């Protein structure tokens, strides 16, 4: 297994410092950046085959996502939900739980936030309302992951399938809630009530960047420190590395599994809340940005390291903001970003395999 | 107003159930073979959607459904070949590659569809039915079960064929061994990687045909993300069927009925929002998993790449 679920398989043995630190750093850099470049090239070939100039496309994406003042502010704002999702995925993957249902958990968190925030701010201070909204969104998302968690913990049912099924259900349920329960009677567009701009998360300084970005950064760094520096994190990693050994070590594996689901889904729910309270203000019917699945490749590229994940989330954010612009201007639909990140994931797995083989050959 | 239980409604419901069950049956039988051989095939959704797209393009330009199915199989095999190369031969993580293939081909087909058909949204004509003599004249059931495209009967026929392969042939035993104790199979002088490759490619072919049927006959049109989780439902069927092809058929009919119910209720003008109705099949899956999940037994070496001499 080259892209390993449990351990830092990508992290290199640090116990042999004598053998060329420069080379080591260069190799790590190559493994971190190489797959992205190769995937960009491959996807570029696809664009060329479709009759779109890849240089023009990528140039446009970088210009709109990173270089233009409005673009870069949108990009940094978009990072907030993506960081929360990445944090949730890191907890799950490090503990060996394949939570592929983050999109459903995200949407239900978002709908919870959109339903509660405009009502709560009418009779309590905004800061208190925001805190309550975040707690509610996390709680609903956690509840949504309870069935897969129990099935995995006590019946050993594969969580990949159950979480995927719950995402299909969650997407429909979110729509039902928006259209039937929390519909704003004041508009003709089917959507929830809108949170006034003044009551949303404050913007940073004189920019349009939502302070949700800071919350996202805090979340992912906290998760990273929890997984690497606390004994709770160590327990989760042991469960992920070898559940049977974890049982022998006296760990309560079912309880830990449920805790992992709760943390992971809770963070996905917070991602939904931060997107609503920070940016959207409401949920429109049939809104499903599908962030979760595109974040997965980034988390793998980062080798489940929270700090590295921040950089890759930035990359994804640029691609998605730039890609949305390109969809309008160059007529290349957003699906291209999906192809691109999927290619990154596959190229990364191959690159790690090659690297592994290369190391074995050198050692032999 | 004929009411919910009029003959016409019932007939349409059952006919739709069979139509919706066929892609699930093909995907489930395919996934079952992969899982028997020790490969957890999450990429099957990608194989289905690519089969659906290629199958639709072929059927649209050639005006032949059979060429469509053939092309769908080729499309599915193409994706399966990538999976076999990366996961069986190189031993990469099956889940990671499976997610990658599913996302990649969902995106790719949506992209290709946009450049090719997004202005016209062409439809295929309704499929010609093969009427089974005598049986087709049974009231209600006859029209629902025995007036389908020939492929439907072939797909059902595949169930006993698969059972025969697993129980009575050397290949069937090899497949089982590749999933339960690959090292023993290797010692017996059979190529584990080759056996698993056969299984994955067969999965691709079946999933591709299933996808092509779903788009060309079931929907009559290709739209982005048209498979909508049918491949994943196939994985569920394979999990619940515990290695028995007949159980895949039964499960496919149950889920097919739920899927058909979603359209039938809408057509009948029942006053329930579509989003609620769309939850029915997935709700059924979760209920089945809660009820029978514990008893889903999977091969010992499922998901573990085989490397000779590795411990």
As a whole number, mean pLDDT of residues B177-183 equals: 88
Spell out the long-range contacts of A46-54 with Cβ–Cβ below 8 A and sequence spacing 24 or more. Answer: A46/A336, A46/A339, A46/B108, A46/B111, A47/A332, A47/A336, A50/A332, A50/B111, A50/B112, A50/B115, A51/B115, A52/A330, A52/A332
Return the pLDDT at B161: 95
Residue among B42, B96, B276 whose CB faces A3 most closely = B96
Q: How far is A222 from chain B (nearest CA, A)?
A: 26
- For A211-258, write each residue's pLDDT tens digit: 888 999 999 999 999 998 998 889 889 888 888 888 888 888 889 999
Residue at token pair 């349409």: B12
Any alpha helices (H) in chain A, and if so which ranges? 21-49, 54-62, 69-94, 102-120, 126-144, 146-150, 159-176, 212-229, 231-241, 243-248, 253-275, 291-301, 306-329, 335-363
Residue among A2, A157, A175 whose CB faces B92 most closely = A2
Residue among B102, B103, B306 with most chain A CBs within 10 A, to mutate: B103
Residue at token pair 């990140």: A341
CB atoms within 10 A of CB A225: 12
pLDDT band at residue A15, thresholds of 50, 70 and 90? very low
Q: What is the mean pLDDT of chain A?
A: 86
Note whether B276 contacts A176, CB cutoff 8 Å: yes
A175 Cβ under 8 Å from any chain B Cβ:
yes
What's the fold here for domain B7-295?
Answer: ABC transporter involved in vitamin B12 uptake, BtuC (1.10.3470)
Note whether A336 contacts B107, CB cutoff 8 Å: yes
As a whole number, mean pLDDT of residues A172-195 equals: 84
Note whether B273 contacts A333, CB cutoff 8 Å: no
pLDDT band at residue B198, thresholds of 50, 70 and 90? very high
Q: Do A191 and A276 contact (CB within 8 A), yes or no?
A: no
**Range with lowest mean pLDDT among A281-290, B10-19, B123-132, B241-250:** B123-132
Residue among B275, B284, B304 with most chain A CBs within 10 A, to mutate: B275
Written as six digits, the tokens of B8 are: 């016409």
pTM of the model: 0.89
Q: Which domains does chain A have, with CATH numbers?
A: 34-356 (1.10.3470)
Q: Is the per-residue pLDDT at B246 higher than 60?
A: yes
Residues of A in contact with B285 (CB under 8 A): 165
Return the pLDDT at A34: 87
Could you write out the DSSP letters of every residue in A138-162?
Answer: HHHHHHHTHHHHHIIIII---HHHH
Note whether A337 contacts B104, CB cutoff 8 Å: no
CB burial of residue A59 (10 Å; 0-12, 13-18, 19+) = middle
Residue among A51, A166, A338 whose CB faces B107 most closely = A338
A162 Cβ under 8 Å from any chain B Cβ:
yes
Residue among B93, B107, B283 whose CB faces A169 most closely = B283
Of all residues in chain A, the one with the smallest CA distance to B225 is: A335
Comparing A143 with B6, the larger pLDDT belongs to: A143
Q: How far is A51 from chain B (nearest CA, A)?
A: 10
Q: How far is A103 from chain B (nearest CA, A)?
A: 14
Phi and psi at A192, nearest 5°, equal -80, 170
Q: How far is B287 from chain A (nearest CA, A)?
A: 10
CB atoms within 10 A of CB A67: 12
Chain A from 292 to 311: CB within 8 A of any B CB: 293-294, 296-297, 300
Q: Which of A4, A175, A193, A5 is nearest to A93 (CA)?
A: A5
Residue among A89, A93, A97, A165 with most chain B CBs within 10 A, to mutate: A165
Beta bridge partners of B127: none
Note whether A349 contacts B107, CB cutoff 8 Å: no
A166 Cβ under 8 Å from any chain B Cβ:
yes
**Range with lowest mean pLDDT among A171-180, A212-221, B262-271:** B262-271
- For A141-164, write each residue's pLDDT tens digit: 999 999 999 988 888 888 888 898
Q: Is the per-residue pLDDT at B74 higher than 90?
A: yes
Residues of B in contact with A304 (CB under 8 A): none
Q: What is the ipTM of this complex?
A: 0.88
Return the pLDDT at A260: 93
Burial readout A96-119 (b: 16 or more C-beta within 10 A, e: otherwise): bbbbbbbbbbbbbbbbbbbbbbbe
Note whether B293 contacts A346, CB cutoff 8 Å: no
CB atoms within 10 A of CB B12: 18
Residues of A in contact with B105 (CB under 8 A): 342
What gap in Å lies between CA B109 and CA B105, rounded to an integer? Answer: 6
As a whole number, mean pLDDT of residues A317-340 equals: 88
Helix (H, G, I), strand (E, B) or coil at A191: strand
What gap in Å lies between CA A316 and CA A290, rounded to an integer? Answer: 13
Chain A from 36 to 65: CB within 8 A of any B CB: 46, 50-51
Residue among A1, A176, A346 whose CB faces B100 most closely = A346
Q: What is the mean pLDDT of chain B?
A: 87
């Amino acid at each position: 297994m080259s892209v390993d679920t449990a351990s830092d398989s990508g992290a290199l043995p640090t116990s042999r410092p004598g053998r060329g630190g420069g080379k080591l750093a260069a190799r790590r850099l190559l493994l971190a950046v190489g797959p992205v470049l190769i995937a960009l090239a491959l996807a570029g070939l696809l664009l060329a085959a479709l009759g779109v100039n890849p240089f023009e496309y990528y140039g446009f994406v970088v210009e709109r996502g990173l270089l233009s003042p409005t673009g870069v502010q949108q990009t940094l704002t978009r990072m907030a939900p993506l960081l929360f999702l990445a944090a949730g995925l890191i907890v799950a993957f490090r503990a060996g739980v394949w939570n592929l249902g983050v999109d459903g958990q995200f949407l239900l968190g978002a709908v919870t936030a959109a339903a509660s925030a405009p009502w709560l701010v009418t009779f309590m201070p905004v800061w208190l309302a925001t805190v309550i909204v975040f707690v509610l969104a996390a709680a609903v998302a956690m509840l949504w992951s309870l069935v897969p968690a129990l099935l995995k913990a006590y019946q050993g049912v594969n969580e990949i399938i159950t979480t995927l099924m719950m995402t299909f259900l969650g997407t429909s349920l979110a729509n039902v809630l928006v259209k039937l329960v929390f519909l704003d009677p004041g508009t003709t567009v089917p959507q929830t009530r809108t949170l006034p701009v003044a009551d949303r998360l404050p913007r940073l300084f004189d920019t349009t960047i939502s302070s949700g970005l800071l919350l996202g950064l805090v979340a992912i760094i906290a998760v990273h420190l929890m997984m690497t520096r606390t004994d709770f994190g160590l327990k989760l990693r042991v469960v992920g590395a070898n559940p049977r050994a974890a049982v022998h070590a006296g760990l309560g594996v079912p309880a830990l599994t449920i805790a992992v689901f709760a943390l992971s889904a809770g963070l996905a729910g917070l991602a939904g809340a931060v997107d609503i309270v920070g940016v959207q203000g409401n949920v429109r019917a049939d809104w499903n940005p599908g962030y979760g699945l595109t974040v997965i490749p980034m988390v793998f590229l980062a080798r489940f390291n929270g700090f590295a994940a921040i950089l890759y989330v930035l990359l994804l954010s640029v691609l998605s903001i730039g890609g949305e612009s390109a969809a309008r201007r160059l007529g290349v639909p957003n699906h291209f970003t999906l192809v691109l990140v999927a290619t990154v994931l596959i190229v990364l797995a191959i690159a790690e395999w090659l690297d592994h083989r290369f190391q074995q050959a050198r050692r032999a | 107003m004929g009411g919910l239980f009029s003959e016409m409604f019932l007939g349409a419901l059952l006919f739709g159930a069979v139509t919706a069950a066929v892609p699930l049956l093909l995907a489930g039988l395919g996934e079952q073979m992969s899982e028997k051989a020790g490969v957890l095939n999450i990429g099957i959704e990608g194989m289905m959607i690519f089969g659906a797209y290629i199958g639709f393009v072929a059927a649209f330009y050639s005006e032949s459904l059979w060429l469509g199915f053939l092309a769908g199989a080729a499309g599915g095999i193409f994706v399966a070949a990538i999976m076999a190369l990366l996961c069986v031969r190189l031993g990469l993580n099956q889940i990671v590659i499976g997610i990658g293939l599913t996302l990649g081909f969902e995106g790719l087909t949506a992209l290709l569809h946009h450049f090719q058909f997004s202005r016209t949204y062409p439809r295929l004509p309704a499929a010609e039915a093969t009427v089974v003599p005598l049986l087709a004249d049974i009231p209600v059931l006859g029209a629902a079960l025995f007036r389908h495209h020939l492929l439907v009967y072939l797909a059902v026929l595949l169930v006993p064929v698969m059972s025969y392969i697993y129980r009575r042939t050397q290949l069937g035993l090899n497949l089982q061994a590749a999933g339960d104790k690959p090292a023993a199979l290797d010692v017996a002088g059979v190529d584990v990687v080759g056996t698993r490759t056969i299984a994955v490619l067969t999965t691709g072919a079946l999933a591709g045909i299933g996808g092509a049927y779903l788009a060309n006959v079931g929907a009559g049109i290709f739209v982005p993300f048209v498979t909508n989780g049918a491949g994943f439902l196939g994985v569920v069927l394979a999990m619940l069927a515990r290695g028995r092809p007949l159980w895949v058929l039964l499960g496919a009919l149950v889920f097919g009925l739920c899927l058909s119910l979603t359209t039938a209720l809408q057509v009948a003008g029942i006053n329930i929002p579509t989003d609620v109705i769309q939850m029915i099949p997935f709700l059924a899956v979760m209920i089945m998993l809660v009820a029978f999940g514990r008893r889903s037994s999977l091969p010992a070496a499922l998901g573990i790449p085989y490397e000779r001499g590795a411990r």
